[in-house]
């Protein structure tokens, strides 16, 4: 069932979205060579305690951390630990919180020091694909319009879109209907018309090589590209309005960060 949010519910989701954006922007500033993914995980968990919010991922279906920290060929669901970042790496930071019973979810991929030009292009194209997808989140459009905009931009630029993991509705729960694939075919089981009041987590996951992925057989979480080439991930929580879509996981203008995405 697709849940359309009331004005009061949207107001709460704006609050939670801004908390997510603020924490992610602070976290991105801490990404540098020599830092471990476990150290990065501590900051958002501490900030959640300070702000009186709950880290949404910790314990979700057994996930052991508050942050998904996905380095290089890890697409999503990287578990923070002893891995030390080095110059030339990239790291996907995926984070969500619960506030007053509502969920916010967002992600960005951050370079560690200087990165190769083709990797920088991967990040840029993925971010552009996210915003092209968001632009289609209008009443009367279909989920497949979001999917098509993302897939076309990614594939035109020589990259591939992950099939096994998709975006989703969000609000009272982390994952609500509808699913938001980043590719069009075959989509017959997923498509639906967009209506105002829907809140969506739109999140292209884009690979430099093959779109195929594997799941770690030991931790059962970490998703890697099958060819071990780099992958990027950007995500926003978005409200479908009567006009232009509204990104909920952004900071208000006076607080904008160099890491706003």
Helix (H) / strand (E) containing 67:
strand 67-71
Mean pLDDT value across residues 103-130: 98
Average pLDDT over residues 75-88: 98
Q: List the beta strands (DSSP E) in 112-166.
A: 160-161
As a whole-number percent, the residues of the chain with pLDDT over 90 amount to 92
The total domain count for the chain is 1
End-to-end CA distance of the chain: 30
Does residue 196 lie in a domain region? Answer: yes
Residues in the chain, how many? 261
Q: Would you call the peptide bond into 261 cis, given omega within 30 degrees of 0 as the criterion?
A: no
Which tens digit of pLDDT belongs to each residue from 144-156? 999 999 999 999 9
Q: State residue 187's pLDDT score.
A: 53
Task: Give the pLDDT band (50/70/90) at residue 258.
Answer: confident
What pTM does this model have?
0.96
Q: What is the mean pLDDT of residues 53-73?
A: 97
Is 261 domain-assigned?
no
Do the domain assignments include residue 222?
yes
Residue 185's pLDDT is 72
CATH number of residue 244's parent domain: 3.90.230.10
pLDDT for 226 equals: 98
Q: Per the domain annotation, does 21 fall within a domain?
A: yes
Predicted confidence at residue 193, as pLDDT, reads 95
Q: Please compute the mean of the pLDDT values over residues 100-119 and round it to a whole number.
A: 98
* 1 lies in some domain: no
Question: Is residue 256 predicted with pLDDT exceeding 90?
Answer: no
Overall average pLDDT of the 205-222 stretch: 98
- 48: left (phi > 0), else alpha (psi -120 to 50), else beta? alpha
H, E, C per residue of 154-165: HHHCCCEECCCC
Neighbouring C-beta atoms of residue 120, cutoff 10 Å: 13
Phi, psi of 175 (to 5 degrees): -120, 110
pLDDT, tens digit, 9 for 90 and up, residues 159-210: 999 999 999 999 999 999 999 999 997 654 578 999 999 999 999 999 999 9
Work out the angle between the directed axes of helices 117-135 and 143-156 (0-180°, nearest 10). Answer: 160
Is residue 2 one of the residues assigned to a domain?
Answer: no
pLDDT at position 189 is: 59
Instruction: With respect to residue 115, please indicate whether it lies within any of the assigned structural domains.
Output: yes
Domain of 186 in residue numbering reads as 7-255
């Amino acid at each position: 069932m697709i849940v359309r949010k009331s004005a009061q519910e949207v107001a709460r989701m704006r609050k939670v979205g801004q908390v997510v954006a603020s924490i992610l922007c602070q976290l991105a500033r801490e990404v540098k060579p020599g830092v471990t993914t476990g150290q990065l995980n501590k900051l958002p968990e501490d900030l959640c305690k300070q702000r009186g919010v709950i880290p949404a991922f910790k314990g979700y279906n057994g996930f052991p951390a508050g942050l998904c920290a996905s380095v290089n060929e890890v697409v999503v669901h990287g578990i923070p630990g002893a891995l030390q970042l080095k110059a030339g790496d990239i790291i996907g930071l995926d984070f969500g919180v619960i506030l007053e019973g509502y969920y916010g979810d967002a992600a960005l991929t951050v370079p560690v020091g200087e990165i190769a030009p083709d990797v920088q292009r991967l990040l840029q194209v993925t971010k552009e694909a996210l915003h092209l997808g968001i632009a289609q989140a209008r009443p009367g459009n279909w989920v497949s319009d979001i999917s098509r905009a993302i897939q076309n931009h990614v594939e035109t630029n020589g990259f591939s879109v992950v099939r096994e993991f998709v975006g989703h509705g969000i609000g009272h729960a982390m994952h609500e209907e509808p699913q938001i694939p980043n590719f069009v075919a075959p989509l017959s089981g997923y498509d639906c018309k967009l209506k105002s009041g829907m809140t969506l987590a739109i999140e292209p996951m884009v690979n430099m090589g093959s779109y195929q992925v594997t799941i770690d057989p030991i931790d059962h979480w970490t998703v890697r590209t099958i060819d071990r080439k780099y992958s990027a991930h950007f995500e926003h929580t978005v409200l479908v309005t009567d006009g232009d879509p509204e990104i909920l996981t952004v900071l208000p203008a006076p607080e904008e960060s160099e890491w706003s995405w």
